[in-house]
Amino acid sequence: MEATILRADLDAFFASVEQRDDPRLRSRAVIVGAGVVMAASYEARACGVRSAMGGTRARRLCPQAVVVAPRWQAYLAASRAVFAIIDDTAPLVERVSIDEAFLDVRGLHAIAGSPRQIVNALRRAVREQVGPPISIGVATTKVLAKVASAMAKPDGLLSQQSQSRTEHPQELNASEPQVAHAELIGAQVMRELVAHGARHLGAQQVRIVAEVAPQGVAVDHDPVGHVVARDAVAVVEPVGARPVPAV
C-alpha cells in the first residue's frame, strides 16, 4: 500500500509566529504566556520549557527567555493562511486543531506528483507565504503519519518505509524512542517493552509486535475524517534534507 496520508503539524506554532513577526526574537528562546506557558520556541524547549508548565518554573529553567503575551488574532490569521494552502493541496483534509491537519493525497500523481513531491511543495509554500516551519509525516494510516510527523520535528519530513525494509534490521535503543532512522514503537508499547527488559528492538521484534496489534497496539486504518490517538507500530525513514530555517 502506498503511503498517501499526510499529517501536517506547525512547529511551536504560537512561538514561531512571534519569531516571524519580530526579528529580534529569531533564534532566541521565546515563551508565550506568563502565568502558564502556552507555547515555547525550540530554543526555550532546549532548556526544558514545555507547554502547560508554570511560568515561574519556565523562567527559572530558561532565565534568558523572552516572555510575550499571546496574540490570538495573529495566530488565527496565520492558521487561516496555512489552511488555505493545505486546502489547495488535497481534496480531502481533516482539520484537527489550529495548527494540525491530516491530508489524503491519493490519486493526485497526474496533477501534483508523488506524495513526496506534494509534501515538498506544501512545506515550501507554507514557508514562503506564511513563515512558520511545518513538519509532515507521510504514511499509510493516520496514526503512523502522526508518529512520523512527531519524529520529523522540527521543520522536517518523515515517510513510512516499505515493509520489506524489515529484512535489514536496525536497532533502536529503548531509552531513546525519539531517534530517527529506525523502527517506531508507540510510547506506551515502548514503556511496556522496557519494563519487560527489552533494551534493543530490532526489525524482527518490531514485526512480532505488529502481529499482535489486536492485543494492544492499534494500527489504525480509519480514513481521513476520523481522528484517532492510539499507539502504533511503523517503519519510517527520513526523506530529503531538512532546510535551514529562513530567518
Say which of 100, 167, 183, 192 is annotated catalytic.
100
Residue type, 199: R
Q: What does the H/E/C string look like for the chain?
A: CCCCEEEEEECCHHHHHHHHHCHHHCCCCEEECCCECCEECHHHHCCCCCCCCEHHHHHHHCCCCEEECCCHHHHHHHHHHHHHHHHHHCCEEEEEECCEEEEECCCCHHHHCCHHHHHHHHHHHHHHHCCCCEEEEEECCHHHHHHHHHHHCCCCEEEECCHHHHHCCCCEECCCCCCCCCEEECHHHHHHHHHCCCCEECHHHHHHHHHCHHHCCCCCCCCCCCCCCCCCEEEEEECCCCCCCCC
Q: Phi, psi (5° rounding) for residue 11?
A: -85, 125
User: Is 176 noted as a catalytic residue in this protein?
Assistant: no
Torsion angle, alpha carbons of 30, 46, 59, 55, to 10? 80
* CB of 102 closer than 8 Å to CB of 116: no
Positions marked catalytic: 100
